[in-house]
Structure 1
Amino acid sequence: MEDKYLSVSALTKYIKKKFDVDRHLNHIWLRGEISNFKHHTRGHMYMTIKDDHASIRAVMFHRQNQDLSFRPEDGMKVLISGYVSVFESQGQYQLYIQELQPDGIGALHLAFEQLKKKLSKEGIFDPIHKKTFPKYPEHIAVLTSPTGAAIRDILTTMERRYPIANVLIIPVLVQGKQAPASIVNGIKKANQIDSLDLIIVGRGGGSLEELWSFNDEEVVRAIFQSELPVISAVGHETDVTISDMVADLRAPTPTAAAELAVPSQLELLDKLKKMNQFIENNIRNKIERSREKLDSMESSYVFKYPERLVEEKEQRLDRAVDQLTKQLHRTVQVKRDYFKYLDQRYQRLNLDKQLEKQNDHVQDLLKRLYRASKQQVDQKGNLFSKNLTQLNLLNPTRIMSRGYSITYSEENEIIRSVNQVEMDDQLTIQLSDGLVECRAQEIRRGDNK
């Protein structure tokens, strides 16, 4: 008797074969929402694709998902290309995804936003991590394509602005699958060179796909970890990459990067010129103030009438001597009165022993008074001699005693030059011991004219 019953395996194989030969299920395009997403440790991705009324299990194997530029997430709207078949061991049909992209926005744009959000949470973009740049760099590394327009723009700008800077070109790939690793290696190499002051990383303009190497996570982290300050100069001003965000300084173009990296020699020369002018003006003003001060001193009362200064000092000295003498007399008188008072007391006591004792005391006091008075007189005399010596040193007549003289005009002004004297002028010559009145009969200048 023929067995009409099928095994579960046989039925499942039959259904699978029906799915596999159906040309409508072999290549389908599907729009849906991801849920229950799981990224297996072996690299495969498992998920459910659903809409408002139905759902289907799906898998995307590692060989298909390894080139995805974004990370699938629950709730993400996606566009799918793949085929439907039966997973025999569980007897269920499922979707085998071959291509996957976000619905509504590009995959690269989504990947950009995801990486930006991830790094922002880590604090990589915080200004606190930005390194400072040297004002006058001597050695600069440029990481870019050696044949692109970017390197020509950078070199031309640096030669024009700051030709003394040494530029080290580190050739790297700037687009393609191998570009991220090339850029990372270039940054590491630059950081191993002790003489370098900063790094410029960049390239010319291009599409988002062509600039994508500078949105690669490894490149971004290499820039962040660089010990040397980094200027990012990727594309044009409207092109913004994650490398621009993490770099210590972002330049809108390669030319702008060179301008930010080095100062302008014209500006430096202008600054030096202004500093030199400032110093010259300060020195000139100081000389002028000193000249005015000297002129003021020359026209002062002391230099015009030196003998009057001496007379004033002598008068002050006389007053000091008088005050000293009066003070000494007062002191002596006070002591005498005190001695007299003591003597009267001794006499009233009329005791020989006490009188003898007090007499000895009085004698001792007199001796002490004499010594104190003598010491005070000596000190005041020494002070007087010292002041007198200082006055003599300041006395212009002392200088005149060595053969010098001072000549005055009829207006009592000091004659400093023959140009102040005319023939027959009445002149007064002051010597150390008197005055000489004379008249100019002949004028001889330094050139004997």
Structure 2
Amino acid sequence: MTSDPYLSVKALTKYIKKKFDADPHLRDVYVKGELSNVKIHTSGHIYFTLKDNTSRLPAVMFAANARAVKFKPESGMTVLIRGDVSVYEASGQYQLYAQSMQPDGIGDYYLAFEQLKEKLSKEGFFNTAHKKPLPRFPEKIAIVTAPTGAAVRDIIITLNRRYPMAKITIFPTLVQGEQAVRSIVQSIQAANGSDFDVMIVGRGGGSIEDLWAFNEEAVARAIFDSQIPVISAVGHETDTTIADFVADLRAATPTAAAELAVPSRADLLDKVLNQQSGMYRVISNMLERDKTALRKLATSMPFAYPDRLYRPFIERVERAGDSLQREVFQHLNRSRERFTNLDRQLANRIPLQRIKQSQTDIAQLQKRLDQSAHITVNNNRMNLTSAIRTLDALSPLKLMERGYTIPYKDGMVVKSIQQVKAGDDLTVTMQDGVVEATVKNTIPKTEGEHTNG
């Protein structure tokens, strides 16, 4: 019976690991390379990739050795590392286990980053004067990022939670690879072809190579030329790109970008409620002051004795009537004297026939004058009497004597059923006192119905 010639993956991996561990050339190696995709774990372990122009080597430095490193490893740095190479059985890949690390200049990516940063800075791309302010209440938001992944999901969830009334438009964009720069520029330009209020440009975290499209000059110029305010949200909080410097506002993460783009609905509601409470207090104080003033007015001399309000007008009417009557009689007397003078003049100058005719005419005119004066006096007397009656009828006391009352709601005269509703408290002023009442119902007047006077 032959044995099974097949090995398990675990057995083969262990065999390979033993080969690595047994090779003396891999036990103590010195390697120089550029750091990439550096991740410092909360435990203190440092995970990174060591690379050069053609190759990449996964690496790890455990916390015990990392504590001896005097600087903070960052992507783009060129470092000198001493360690050993072995196989990580769980993934089946070999990696460098670093024991010590020393800086040795900067890598190509980092150098390119600094050179472009210096160039754009001299051109004024980072000046605060060019930063556009973000609108307080954006209605339309453009998102330039990959259509799938955690970044776009976090942005949409945060926007919908904080400010659901905003309209979100996603511009699907390549954010990694050779075509990423062109895709990002085209999406930014496409968003500027519409009336968006703010734009979020970014992606999730990754290595410096993954994020490099946002360090390209074409992307920086597209952001700078954007007429729409741009919030950059590239990578994690520790990642910084050229796009972050050029953008109108930089966010540490995509979620933070969404929070910066829109206000919080809850915060706005709190402000509205606080302002509403303040308005209620102000209005209540005003109403209380007005009520106090109204009570003072109601007990003041004119309203306590309403007959004194129209008494001066009655006196003026009576005096005007007397004056008018005197004027009429004086006018009549002057007219009579004039006619008498004319009659004498005619008697001396005109033949008898013309005198007689003139006498007849004068008699008729005299009669008509008397009639006109009488009519004028009567009409004025009637107008005077009517004016007195009208003033008397308009007296609030007279109205109340006929059974009319004046309803008040909150100190204001109620003139229409539209001003009250069932359950409202009314104060009804009558001739001899005040009645406090509650509205049971309101019945509108139907078409054709008349109110009895």
TM-score normalized by the length of structure 1: 0.49
Larger radius of gyration: 1
TM-score normalized by the length of structure 2: 0.49
